[in-house]
Amino acid sequence: MRFVLTFADPKIEARQRAFVTNNRRAYNDAETAGLLSQVNSRCPLCDCFLFYRKGQRQHKAYELAHIYPLNPRPEEIIELAKSPRLCVDVNDPDNIIPLCVSCHERFDKPRTAGEYLNLYQLKFDTLQQERQRSLASQYPLEQQIAAVIAHLHDAEVDQGSSSALSFTPKSVNDKLDATMPPPTKQKVRNAVEDYFLHVQAAFLELERSDPGCSEQICIQVRSFYVMQKRQRLPQAEVFSNLVAWIRVRSKASTLESVEAVASFFIQNCEVFE
């Protein structure tokens, strides 16, 4: 992953680039498939499908667009002078995104800083998601976590049980910062109040049948969280990544149960200490 911020005197750079011509690179099938996968084969600007069917065959309805221009005109260099770039090499796949033909033409003519930053952010987000999936695949999680999540499917929420956890809202609030949106904070608080004791009981049951397993799961969750923390991600993104990782590893069918287990780890201090 290559993210760089480069700023220069736009007028000097414009004069220099007037004498430099970059050749368009050809992208192989694997690179093209990867680029299309990043946008789910839909134009990220208008959401239209990037293929059309004619007869018995599928045909491409997209072009591979340079986000920062391949050979910027002097006015484009000045227009984008204060804008960040995804990479130094304009032909790098990190600077390429599939667009439908109409959106590509509108984006190029003329290229404005506002539209550039919008497409830059779209690509940046896809690269971050791709990197997150790659990192998450490197972190194991004991399959027994599925039993803990399944335990919640039959759990009956006792509205009076929150009195036994009167410490919870304050404890959770102390761990959640301003990067966690209020609705997500409330979701975590509610999950802790409603399901903390159920998740705890499920782990105790797991420990009786498989000593050391629950401790191993807590260590694995902590390790995954530390990896997220090192990336300096906002808490909302960390929570979302944690939920996605647990759901994939546990093959859970319901998002709400996974969110309840992730909230348990927040209260239990493996996450957001």
Q: What's the CA gap between 204 and 77, in Å, rounded? A: 62
The pLDDT-based confidence of 21 (bands split at 50, 70, 90) is confident
Rounded Cα distance, 86 and 107, in Å: 17
Angle between helix axes 255-267 and 235-250 (nearest 10 degrees) is: 120
pTM of this prediction? 0.75
Report the alpha-carbon distance of residue 243 to residue 224 in Å, rounded.
11
For the stretch 162-199, pLDDT in tens is: 445 444 445 777 889 999 999 999 999 999 989 999 99
Helix H, strand E, coil C: the string for 197-266 is HHHHHHHHHHHHHCCCHHHHHHHHHHHHHHHHHHCCCCHHHHHHHHHHHHHHHHCCCCHHHHHHHHHHHH
Residue 86: per-residue pLDDT: 95
Residue 44 tokens read as 């990220």
Average pLDDT, the chain: 88
Cis ω before 110 (30° cut-off from 0): yes
pLDDT of residue 159: 55
Spatial CB neighbours of 156, under 8 Å, sequence gap ≥ 6: none
Please give the pLDDT value at position 155: 72
Whole-number Å distance between alpha carbons of 159 and 67:
53
pLDDT > 70 fraction of the chain, expressed in percent and rounded: 87
Cβ-count burial 1-16 (b if 16+ within 10 Å, e if not): eeeeeeeeebeebbee
Q: How many CB atoms lie within 10 A of CB 55?
A: 6
> Lowest mean pLDDT: which of 1-10, 62-71, 222-231?
1-10
Each residue's pLDDT tens digit, 115-147: 999 999 999 999 999 999 898 899 999 999 999
State how far the Cα of 125 lies from the Cα of 7, in Å rounded to an integer.
22
Average pLDDT rounded to a whole number, residues 80-108: 95
pLDDT at residue 163, rounded to an integer: 45
Residue 61 scores a pLDDT above 90: yes
pLDDT value of residue 168:
46
Percentage with pLDDT > 90 across the chain: 73
CA 101 – CA 107 distance, rounded (Å) = 10
